[in-house]
């Protein structure tokens, strides 16, 4: 075309794709996946290793800043304390996490000392 405007044509194609999943696989939306991960994380009891992985603090830090100062509130409700030197702390995940979140300002101040 001499000196004229070339007209562009846009063609929209909506292809259909079929994916066959093996019987042992499913597709889950992101929110469902995140909920599954959270549920798995809160199943059972957390030990000191779980606490360390979750909060990045060691057993001594928890003893000093959470378990000892809040023992009256935690013992036998949220945390099983060691007895006989053969066991360790065990925590109910959801109540313990809620406790740490709600007491964060006080725990933080205590940890700074």
- Crossing angle (nearest 10°) for helices 93-102 and 104-112: 70
Token reading at 90 = 């065990």
1-25 pLDDT, tens digit per residue, is 555 567 788 888 888 888 888 999 8
Interval 24-60: pLDDT, tens: 988 889 998 888 888 777 788 999 999 999 999 999 9
Angstrom distances, CA of residue 104 to CA of 1, 4, 45, 64, 95: 73, 71, 21, 14, 14
Which of left, alpha, beta for 56 (phi over 0: left; psi -120 to 50: alpha)? left
């Amino acid at each position: 075309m001499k000196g004229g405007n070339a007209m562009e044509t846009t063609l929209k194609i909506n292809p259909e794709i079929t994916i066959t999943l093996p019987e042992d696989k499913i597709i889950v939306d992101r929110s469902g996946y995140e909920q599954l991960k959270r549920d798995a994380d809160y199943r059972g009891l957390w030990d000191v290793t779980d606490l360390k992985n979750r909060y990045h603090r060691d057993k001594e830090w928890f003893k000093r800043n959470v378990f000892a100062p809040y023992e009256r509130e935690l013992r036998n409700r949220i945390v099983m304390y060691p007895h006989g030197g053969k066991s360790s702390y065990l925590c109910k995940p959801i109540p313990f996490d809620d406790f740490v979140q709600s007491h964060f300002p006080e725990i933080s101040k205590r940890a700074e000392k």
